[in-house]
Amino acid sequence: MLDKHSIFEARYRAFGSNSTGWNRVCVVPLNLFTDDTSGNRSKKWNKFESWSMVPAGLPLEDPNKRENTFLVCLHNRLSAIQMLENIVDDLRELENGVVMYDAVYQESVLVIAPLNFITADNMEHAQI
């Protein structure tokens, strides 16, 4: 759970381009989506498991737009659960905060991206 103390601690540990060591904080909750896709019209051949993410908190007309959906990983031999094991460490790091460069502010910012929820079809949710 993201609380006031963890945000303060993450901001204090962050090293920015300014002399005080404090950065702007951007909180971007994420929604993950997993599904099986196919390179063919039927899902019988050339199946792929995929994970994608969408920033939460977008206006209702924006989450399903292509420019707001980001591919996390895709594989034709691993299951969604096997791929999730590999991205959990990155998700935890994002929840704790990562210092990144922001082109709008022209400085380093602390990005905190907690996982909001995981969406999937019924078969994928049964596996998770």
Paired strand residues for 101: 108
pLDDT of residue 114: 94
Q: Is residue 15 pLDDT above 60, yes or no?
A: no
User: Which has more pLDDT, 45 or 107?
Assistant: 107
Band of pLDDT at residue 118, cut at 50, 70 and 90: confident
Q: What is the pTM of this model?
A: 0.70
Do the Cβ atoms of 31 and 23 come closer than 8 Å? no
pLDDT of residue 85: 85
Report helix, strand or coil for 74. Answer: strand
Q: Tokens representing 82?
A: 């096997």
| Phi, psi values for residue 23, rounded to 5° | -125, 160
Paired strand residues for 37: 48
Within a 10 A sphere around the Cβ of 34, how many other Cβ atoms? Answer: 23
Residue type, 80: A
pLDDT of residue 14: 47
Band of pLDDT at residue 124, cut at 50, 70 and 90: low
Give me the half-sphere count of Cα atoms (radius 13 Å) on the Cβ side of residue 11: 14
